[in-house]
Structure 1
Amino acid sequence: MKTALHLLAAMMLLLAASCQNGTPQETNNPQETGTPQESTLIIEEKDGVTLLCHGDKPLVFGWVDLENEMSADLFRGSYNDSLLAALMPTGASRSAINAYMAIDSVHKVLFDAGLGADRGGKLLENMKKAEVDPSEITAVCLTHLHGDHIGGLLLDGRAAFPNATLYLSQEEYDAWKDGGPLAANNALWKQVMAAYQGHIVTFHDGETLFDGMVVAKLAPGHTLGHTVYEVGGICLIAGDLLHAQDLQLEHPQFCARYDADPEQATAMRIRIFNELRDNGHYLAGAHCYKHFINLKDLSKGIRE
C-alpha cells in the first residue's frame, strides 16, 4: 500500500503538468504559492518531509533529521548583544537539522545526510516511512564535512546509501583529507571515505552536475570549502549559510561560533540573501525549521 507521500508525489507530478500550462491546481494543504512564478507550490506532509513543485522542474523534498534549538550564546559577541537579547528573549531559537532530495526522471540526489541514527537522526526513519529506499539514492551532495551533515552517510559502519556517489568541493576535500580542525570529525570523515571508497567525486566552483539539474557554488566562510547548490532554477540548498532562521534572515550580521571565518561567512550570507531576494529562488537551509523560504517575504531589505 502506497504511503501518503507516494500519493502526494503522484499528485505533484500531475500538478507539474498543470503548472506547465500556467494553471496550478489547489491542494488540500498548500503552504504558499508564488516564487519564482505563480505556479510554484509547496505542500507540507507529516513524517518529516515537505515537497516543492514547480512546473517541469525536479521535485525537491525537504527532510527533517532532527528538531532542536540554537542557543543565543552561539551568536553572542558577533554583532549586537543588546539586539540579540531582544530578538531571542528565551535564550534560544527554534532550529533543525535537515537533508534535502531532488529527483527527476533519471536522478535521485540527496543533499547532506544529517547526524546519523546512532546520534538521534531520523532521516532514514523518515525515508522508510515514505517508502524511499536508500539504495535508490544515486548521489549525495555534501555542503561540507561537519558531523551533522555526514553522520547519516553511515549505518553500522557501512554506507547507508550503498549505490550513491558522494560529491563535494575540492576545497572542502583538501581541507579535511589530511586532518581538519575537529578531531572527532576527522575520524568520522575517514570512516565515510572508507565506506564510499571509489565513489567520491570532487568539483570546483560553478560546475554543473546531473545533466544540468544542479549547479554547485562555492560559499566559504562556515568552512573553507562550504558549498551551496542551485537546484533546477527553483531553490538553493544552502547548508550552514545560516543557523537560526528567526534571527539571521532579518539580521544576517549575526554569526554563529561554528563559522570558521565569521567575516567571510557574514559577507557570503548577505550576498546570497540578496541574490535570492532578487531571483525569487527558495532558500533551503540545513538548520531552518521551515524547509523552503521565500526571501521576498521578508519585511525588511537585506542590502547592507
Structure 2
Amino acid sequence: MSETAQSEDFFIYRVGNIEVSIVNDGHITVPLAAGLIPGVPLSEVQASLREAGLPTETVTTTFAPLLFRSGPKTTLIDTGFGPDAAAEAGSTRGLLVGNMKANGVDPADVDVVVISHFHPDHVNGLLSQGKPTFPNATVMVPEPEWRFWMDIEEMKRAPEGRMSQLFQNNRRIFEQVGERLSVFKWGLEIVPGLEAVAAPGHSIGHTAFWLRSGGEQVFIQSDLTNQAALFVAKPDWHSALDQFPNQTVQTRRRFYDMLAEKRIPLQAFHHPFPGRCHLEKNGAGYRRTPIE
C-alpha cells in the first residue's frame, strides 16, 4: 500500500488498485464512568489511560467511516452519526458528509453503503432530516443483524434502556431505506474486493471485512475494539456496550493473534484517526504501531 494524501479529516491510501479514503466523522468526549469496563476497578482503567498519556477523568471516542473506489463504484462502510447530529449546537460528531464534500465526494456519488452493525454511530448517517443521505446507494446489511433487530418478538423482550432504544432507532432508520436494502451473508465477496467476515460479540451480527486488491490487503475491524488505549493492551476487558462480552473477547483475540502473526495492516473505526496500524503481541495483550 502506498499513501497518496493525508489530512486531519480525510486520509487516502491504496490497497492494490483500490483507493481508500478514511473520513473523519468527529468524536465524543464524556466523563469516565465507573461502569465503562464491567468488573474492572475505575483506578485500573485510569492507570491504563495514564500509561497511554491520556486524560483520566474523561474518555474520547473517535469515528472514522471508510470510503473506497473499486473500478467505477464508490462504496462507503458505515455512515457515522449523520448530518442531523452535526447540526446540533456544539456538536463534534456527524462530520462525515461535510468532510466528504470538502474533498470532492458528494453523497449522491456513493453507489453502495455497507453497514457493519446496527449501532447509531454506524447507521444514523443513513438519514438526513428523514430522507436518505446517500440517495443513489444500495444499502447492504449483515443478515444476522437484520434478522435480530427487525424481529418484533426480540424487540418486545428487549430491556428498557439502551437495547430498547436501539430497536426503536433501527426501525426508524430502516423504514426509510425500503427497496434499496440488500442483505448479505458472511464469507462472501459482497462488492468487488470486499469480503464480509463474521466477527460477532460487540453486536449479534457484528461484521468485519477484508479489502483485497493486487496482492495487497487490509483488515477492516469495525468495532473489535473501541478505545485502543484500553482494549488493545488489555484484550480480555470488555465494554459495557458489548452485547455478548465473552464472545467479544474471543473474537478479538482470534483476529488480533492472526493480524499480529502475519503483520497484516489493520483499519479501525474507533482508533485514533486515521485508525491504520500494525499489531504485535505484547505480553498478555497487543501493541499497535500506527502506519503513518
Bin for the TM-score computed over the shorter chain: 0.7 to 0.9
1:118 and 1:234 map into 2 onto residues whose CA distance is 34
Change in 2 beyond 3 A, CA 1:74/1:88: farther
Shift of residue 81 of structure 1?
5.3
Aligned to 1:207: 188
Unpaired runs of 5+ residues, structure 1, are 1-39
Normalising by the residue count of structure 1, what TM-score does the alignment of the two structures yield?
0.78
1:114-165 CA-to-partner distances (Å, cap 9, x unmatched) read: 1112223111111111110111111111110111111101011111001111
Shift of residue 42 of structure 1?
3.6
1:296 and 1:184 map into 2 onto residues whose CA distance is 35
Aligned to 1:101: 67
1:165-216 CA-to-partner distances (Å, cap 9, x unmatched) read: 11121110001112544333333322332322111111222111223x1000
Shift of residue 88 of structure 1?
2.1
1:134 and 1:279 map into 2 onto residues whose CA distance is 36
Verify the 8 A CA contact 2:126 2:132 in the aligned structure 1. yes
Unpaired runs of 5+ residues, structure 2, are 51-55, 87-93, 287-292
Q: Secondary structure at the match of 1:239?
A: coil
Q: How does 1:262-277 map to 2 (within 5 A)?
A: 262-277=245-260
Given the alignment, which residue of 21, 37, 40 partners 1:61?
21
Verify the 8 A CA contact 2:38 2:240 in the aligned structure 1. no
Query: 1:216 is aligned with what amino acid?
Result: A
Aligned to 1:92: 58
Given the alignment, which residue of 41, 45, 49 partners 2:6?
45
Q: Secondary structure at the match of 2:241?
A: coil
Segment drifting more, 230-239 vs 252-261: 230-239
Aligned to 1:153: 126
Confirm whether residue 118 of structure 1 aligns to residue 97 of structure 2: no
Change in 2 beyond 3 A, CA 1:298/1:53: farther
Verify the 8 A CA contact 2:234 2:284 in the aligned structure 1. no
1:69 and 1:272 map into 2 onto residues whose CA distance is 28
Q: CA RMSD in A?
A: 2.2
Aligned to 1:18: none
Verify the 8 A CA contact 2:5 2:11 in the aligned structure 1. yes
Shift of residue 280 of structure 1?
2.7
Q: How does 1:220-231 map to 2 (within 5 A)?
A: 220-231=200-211
Q: How does 1:233-248 map to 2 (within 5 A)?
A: 233-248=216-231
Query: 2:71 is aligned with what amino acid?
Result: S
Change in 2 beyond 3 A, CA 1:279/1:57: farther
Shift of residue 113 of structure 1?
0.2
Q: Secondary structure at the match of 1:185?
A: helix
1:28-67 CA-to-partner distances (Å, cap 9, x unmatched) read: xxxxxxxxxxxx334663351111224x331111111112
1:8-38 CA-to-partner distances (Å, cap 9, x unmatched) read: xxxxxxxxxxxxxxxxxxxxxxxxxxxxxxx
Change in 2 beyond 3 A, CA 1:260/1:183: same
Change in 2 beyond 3 A, CA 1:65/1:298: farther
Change in 2 beyond 3 A, CA 1:84/1:44: farther
Count of residue correspondences:
262
Change in 2 beyond 3 A, CA 1:292/1:300: farther
Verify the 8 A CA contact 1:138 1:165 in the aligned structure 2. yes
Segment drifting more, 64-73 vs 159-168: 64-73
Change in 2 beyond 3 A, CA 1:45/1:237: same
Verify the 8 A CA contact 1:47 1:126 in the aligned structure 2. no
1:126 and 1:73 map into 2 onto residues whose CA distance is 34
Aligned to 1:194: 175
Change in 2 beyond 3 A, CA 1:51/1:73: farther
Aligned to 1:281: 264
Normalising by the residue count of structure 2, what TM-score does the alignment of the two structures yield?
0.81
Q: Secondary structure at the match of 1:287?
A: coil
Segment drifting more, 80-89 vs 226-235: 80-89
1:51-91 CA-to-partner distances (Å, cap 9, x unmatched) read: 1224x331111111112346353533345655323112413
Verify the 8 A CA contact 2:126 2:133 in the aligned structure 1. yes
Segment drifting more, 119-128 vs 73-82: 73-82
Segment drifting more, 266-275 vs 71-80: 71-80
The percentage of counterpart residues that share the same residue type is 23
